[in-house]
Amino acid sequence: MSEKRIETIISIILCITGMILIIDTILAQFFDRGTYANNLAIIYCITFIIASLKYKNIISKKYVIIPLYLMIIQTFYSLIIK
């Protein structure tokens, strides 16, 4: 597989995983439904760091960065509430 195709696949996986984590956090934090997926969040963070080091263009894609920013905002909000 070419490097560009691998970068696209990783970008899509990061986008989908980020959206799942955002929805999971909203459900767990605001509606008390389910539990927060700690393992998935840790895997997402590690994957994001490794992928952004290897593929520099991942950081410039909005559909990868916006879920990351939303998770950071959710983290700050949960720290303020508690």
Counted domains in the chain: 1
| Dist CA 10 CA 52 (whole Å) | 10
Find, among 49, 63, 45, 46, the residue nearest to 8 by Cα: 63
- 10, 53 contact by CB (below 8 A): no
pTM: 0.83
Q: Which two tokens stand for residue 13?
A: 């996986």
Q: Which two tokens stand for residue 51?
A: 């992928």
pLDDT (tens digit, 9 = 90+) per residue, 16-32?
A: 999 999 998 888 888 88
- 25, 79 contact by CB (below 8 A): no
In which domain, by residue range, is 51 found?
Answer: 3-81
pLDDT (tens digit, 9 = 90+) per residue, 22-80?
A: 998 888 888 887 777 788 888 999 999 999 999 988 989 999 999 999 989 988 888 88
